[in-house]
A and B are shown apart, each in its own frame.
Chain A
Amino acid sequence: MLYRVIDRADVPSLVAAFMERYEVVAPVRRGEKYVFEAVSDFDEIALDYPTTIASPKKYFLPATETLFAFDARENAVTDYVDEVRPRVLFGVHACDINGIMNLNSVFNDPRYPDPYYRAHEDATLIVGVSCTPTDTCFCHLMDSEEARPGYDLFLNAIGDRYLVSIGSVTAANILESACDVREATDADRAAFRAATRARQRAFNPAIPDVQEIPMLMDAFHEDAFWDELGGRCLSCNACASVCPTCYCFDIRDTLDPGAETGRRERVWDACTSPQFAMVAGGHNFRATPAARVRHRMYHKLNGFLATHDRSLCVGCGRCAAACKVDISPIAVLEFFERKGADDGE
């Protein structure tokens, strides 16, 4: 990895350089919160944002995406729609970069690679930025506090400068052309170390670190705790809507008003949706909210590990903020922390 240092004052010209060739998507303020959206000027960007309502997943897996157009009379595909625009995601936190890495490992699985996802991925540059944890952040417990691969540039704030980790030649060239780029000094490295330590100390200590969580989940699969969570689940899927790593989708056909032509679309779906596990004939093999919530938590904290060697949850905390009834991996961690304490008594 190459590291260089730029002044904070150089960031607007970096953004402007990206804008010459890319759509730039960045965190912007909306009401009391923040969202990722396309910007046309650096001043719209809130680079010190705490978190966004929903994740940047929407730029890789849109909530509704047309897969192809068809002619219903001919029963034939008429157009393979490929709406991909070259884009820079500017100001992405480490948790979200790790979330995108998780999506990559799903959609680039060589057994069934997804050309639509891949097209978005190939057309997207990612510029990460360091952050300060919010009260619901627990990326450090999910091995997602740091983005290792997965970005083109990563801006580590060190006072009035950024220590920039460089991940791609394309982005390095743009950085070089737009900014006064310097070698990192010992003072820069010391400042980086201090900033990292400060972040590590800023995590909410009330969120417990339960390292053996996958094993505990297997051991307490039938615990009444899951009924307790299911008993208050609203079945709204807000958790999945904001999650950086929920990737399930449904596929459906939409006819145009004349019913002669139409589009095949994929739309987000979620395992917390009551009909998600309903199969032909009407049987629903996860018919209760308890079974659905448990399934979601297992996939996030246990199941994905078995196939991808890391937890699917990246600890961004968005679901904890979005859920009206306090169902989130944090509640699961807290439960198992109590469970461990109870058993020790």
Chain B
Amino acid sequence: MSEIERVTDEPCAPRVVFIGLASCFGCQINITNIEKHLLQVLGQIELGYWQLTSSEPMPDAFDVAVIEGAVTTEEAAETVRRARERAGCVIAIGACAATGGIPGMAAPDITGCAAAVYGDAVPEACGVLRAPAPVSALVDVDFTVSCCPVDPFEFVRVLDAALYGSNRLAPTSVLCGQCAQGEGGCLYKRGQMCLGLVTRSGCGAKCPTLGRACNGCAGLSPDANVGAARAFAASRGHDPARFDEALRMFNTVALVAAGEGE
């Protein structure tokens, strides 16, 4: 994906819309945490739609669609498909949009989960439920900003990549290497079970650096070696069932797709 193709000949800023699906909206809120840089970023785009700032409905024409949240209803699936048709570029932000995230935990049994919460009748306001899925399960995604929540500066870098092009590649190596660069010592040596063994790097290993085990929010790397990681964790006294359970928090959809799920 390189530069955005203009729909008109009129020189204008790229039109960006923010679409919120099943999520806590925390990633969108976190974008505002770039604080003094926020106006610099907004100055480069024409913000066409953002529920957090305006009640105006989504316009028909736009260049970039930024999507937070998992697809959990048929209505959301339609929104995503329509956004893909209209936008030159789709950016998925946050674990829910990138991996199915927390809503994705319900993917293997959406009917059972809905019944557990709502009983016999799912309220109409919920829409037509479907198995939660990442945005990429429905449409092609040009860029992904991983993690729960997103690093707002990483969001800006990815938005820049969408607007101007970039020579960065999203890494698929797993987190331990980045963690080792920080020389904080491995959390397994302190008895903690850490999912950095299989989680996509790129986040800077912020959590392990602060002494908190990785929970996999950046997503299972497509090059992860889950079997070897599970065996290593087991060798350090962590029950493989617990390892898998921890991994399901953000990666149920990927595990099911890889035949590793329930």
Interface residues of A (CB under 8 A from B): 30-33, 35, 52-54, 63, 72, 231-242, 251-255, 257-259, 268, 270, 272-275, 278, 289, 322, 324-325
Contact = CB atoms under 8 A, between A and B. Distances in A.
B181 interface: yes
Interface in B185-228: 185-186, 188-189, 196-198, 201, 221-225, 228
Contacts of B83: none
29 contacts: A30-B185, A33-B183, A53-B180, A54-B183, A232-B231, A234-B174, A234-B228, A234-B229, A234-B232, A235-B172, A235-B173, A237-B177, A237-B178, A240-B177, A242-B180, A251-B167, A254-B157, A255-B164, A257-B34, A257-B40, A258-B37, A258-B40, A258-B44, A259-B163, A273-B172, A274-B172, A274-B222, A324-B176, A325-B228
Given A258-B43, A259-B163, A252 B176 contact: no
Contact of B37 (A31, A242, A257): A257
A252 B168 CA distance: 6
Contacts of A72: 164
B175 interface: yes
B156 interface: yes
Contacts of B231: 232
Given A234-B174, A257-B34, A32 B225 contact: no
Contact of A255 (B160, B177, B183, B224): B160
Given A63-B181, A234-B225, A273-B173, 6 more contacts: A53-B185, A236-B180, A270-B177, A289-B223, A324-B188, A324-B232
A280 to B, nearest CB: 12
Contacts of B2: none
B156 to A, nearest CB: 5
Contacts of B153: 257
B116 interface: no
Contacts of B196: 236
Interface string B83-101: 0000000000000000000
A32 B232 contact: no
A31 B186 CA distance: 11
Nearest to A52: B183
Interface of B: 34, 37, 40-41, 43-44, 153, 156-157, 160, 163-164, 166-169, 171-181, 183-186, 188-189, 196-198, 201, 221-225, 228-229, 231-232
Given A54-B181, A257-B34, A325-B228, A235 B223 contact: yes
A275 B176 contact: no
A234 B199 CA distance: 10
A285 to B, nearest CB: 16
Contacts of B223: 235, 274, 289
A258 to B, nearest CB: 4
A273 B171 contact: yes
A231 B227 CA distance: 9
B228 A238 contact: no
B183 A236 contact: no
A75 B189 CA distance: 48
Nearest to B41: A257
A53 B186 CA distance: 10
Nearest to B172: A274
Contacts of B178: 237, 241
Nearest to A326: B232
Contacts of A241: 177-178, 180-181
Nearest to B225: A234
Which of the listed residues B34, B163, B176 has the most CB atoms from chain A within 10 Å of its own CB?
B176
A275 B201 CA distance: 13
B160 A259 contact: yes
Contacts of B172: 235, 273-275
A298 B225 CA distance: 22
A99 to B, nearest CB: 16
A237 B181 CA distance: 10
A277 B114 CA distance: 46
A134 to B, nearest CB: 15
Which 10 pairs, one residue from A and one from B, show the smallest C-beta to C-beta distance? A237-B177, A236-B176, A257-B37, A258-B40, A241-B180, A238-B180, A274-B223, A53-B183, A232-B228, A236-B177
Which of the listed residues A63, A239, A251, A254 has the most CB atoms from chain B within 10 Å of its own CB?
A254
A279 B66 CA distance: 28
B232 A235 contact: no
Contacts of B201: 236-237
Contacts of B164: 72, 255, 259
Contact of A322 (B44, B163, B180): B180
B224 A235 contact: yes
A338 B224 CA distance: 30
